[in-house]
Amino acid sequence: MNNKTILYAEDDIIIQKILGKFISKKYPDTLIASNGKDALSLFETNKVDAVVTDLSMPVMSGFELIRKIREHNTVTPIIVTTAYRDEAKQLNDAGVTILYKPIDTKELMKSLEAAFAC
């Protein structure tokens, strides 16, 4: 079993269930949030080894979530999942990995493994 804790934030319930279940198979300690505000709360109250987040979410966007995480933590790997290529360009200096939807699960796992190899 893998002892890494992944925080996964996605508001689309279908994508959340599919990818959440997929991530949990390798990383059983996966925390799931439906918006950036809940994700930030989970990040602040748990030891999170990596964040996988959508950009477009209600309550608090993925952009805001990343900004708030990076205010105090510049080392936790963040993987962005998004359908919006133009918006993702705004993250060039945020130290994130960007994966475009529809998500290739092999690429997601490679990105997580690469994050932990550092």
Give the lowest-confidence range in 16-25, 63-72, 91-100, 105-114. Answer: 91-100
pLDDT tens by residue, 37-92: 999 999 999 999 999 999 999 999 999 999 999 999 999 999 999 887 776 666 66
Query: What pLDDT does 111 receive?
Result: 95
DSSP assignments along 42-86, one per residue: HHHHS--SEEEEESS-SSS-HHHHHHHHHHH-SSS-EEEEES-HH
How confident is the prediction for the chain on average, in pLDDT?
91
Query: Looking at the domain 5-112, which fold is it?
Result: Rossmann fold (3.40.50)
Q: What are the domain boundaries of the chain?
A: 5-112
**Cis, peptide link before residue 102, omega less than 30° from 0:** yes
